[in-house]
Chains A and B, each alone.
Chain A
Amino acid sequence: MSDTEHPTEHTPAIHDIGGIQRFHCTPVEYDEEPPDAFGKRVDALRQLLARKGYMTVDELRRGIESIPEPEYFALTYYERWLRSIELLMVEKGVVTKEELT
């Protein structure tokens, strides 16, 4: 039986992975590297835009959560952030798509 035969069963959105079985045999890799220069710059940009009132953390999350599953797992952490920040800045008319190409 496929999942689609049970429409009442809740399928969480892809970011909502608390408790899912998919990773239960995956060790948590203990990785101590700090973010690279790219990550730190995206991080700083996000904080700055939030401080200036251009976006909120909830909006960042909504942008990240709208990334389709294959891309969600293919992108690195800060690449997902960048994708969301760009989406929000275009949505809000702060910059245009043309200015980003």
Chain B
Amino acid sequence: MSNPARAESLEQLERLVAALMTKGVVSEAELAAQQASTDRASPEIGARMVARAWLDPAWRAMMLKNGTEAVEALGVSMAGAPPLGVLEDTARRHHVIVCTLCSCYPRAVLGYPPHWYKSFSYRSRVVREPRMVMAEWGSPVPDDIELRVVDSTADYRWMVLPMRPAGTEGWSEDQLAALITRDVLVGVALPKLPA
């Protein structure tokens, strides 16, 4: 649940920013530019990577070997970001990502982490009862599929490369990318064809 910041926190932030500006550490323009750059990152980048991997075996191999390189090939800078790994789902295994310690998240390909990803309940539950969490959210995973929960850390971030759904033969990259949501890239949902 997202609660608004308290007035004292807003004041605390502005006092800190003012002190840092006085010392020449940051400027208002730099803060605005940084925020604009974070606002631009969205799950569309991760969706594009996955759609291409479903269509192009060479791209798929490159992305599995080095996720960071794949992101940069799409024109998104990963400068200063931790390395990105890609977890490949198979017919027998599905992956889910969590940051149990806090909120490490592949921001470059997904944007800001949503509140639930940072929540105490998601962080504690998904490592113990991932099937229940996924079922509650409408993506039950069959019992014969192994579910592997992977911890994202300050040093290494992950995204999921899901299985391409049946019934999408002959689809274009754009059509496929439209199936891939942020939740699919985190692994808490599976790609679904439009009804």
Contacts and interface: CB of A to CB of B under 8 A. Distances in A.
User: Could you say which interface size class chain B belongs to?
Assistant: 35 or more
B122 interface: yes
A101 B31 CA distance: 22
Contacts, number: 158
Contact of A27 (B9, B13, B25, B121): B121
B4 A36 contact: yes
Contacts of B3: 76
A79 B6 CA distance: 9
Nearest to A43: B38
A24 B30 CA distance: 42
Contact of B114 (A32, A36, A64, A86): A32
Contact of A95 (B16, B119, B123, B126): B16
Contacts of B129: 24
Interface residues of A, number: 55
A76 B6 CA distance: 9
B31 A45 contact: yes
B112 A35 contact: yes
B127 A19 contact: yes
B34 A48 contact: yes
Interface string B15-31: 11101101101100011
A88 to B, nearest CB: 11
Interface string B144-179: 000000010010000000000000000000000000
B38 A47 contact: yes
B13 A100 contact: no
Contact of A18 (B15, B34, B127): B127
A61 B101 CA distance: 9
A87 to B, nearest CB: 11
Given A29-B1, A61-B102, A18 B123 contact: yes
A82 to B, nearest CB: 6
A41 B114 CA distance: 16
B175 to A, nearest CB: 24
B40 to A, nearest CB: 13
5 contacts: A38-B10, A43-B112, A45-B26, A54-B25, A79-B9
Given A29-B121, A43-B35, A43-B112, 14 more contacts: A17-B120, A18-B100, A18-B151, A28-B119, A34-B112, A36-B4, A38-B10, A40-B39, A45-B13, A45-B20, A51-B34, A51-B80, A61-B154, A77-B115
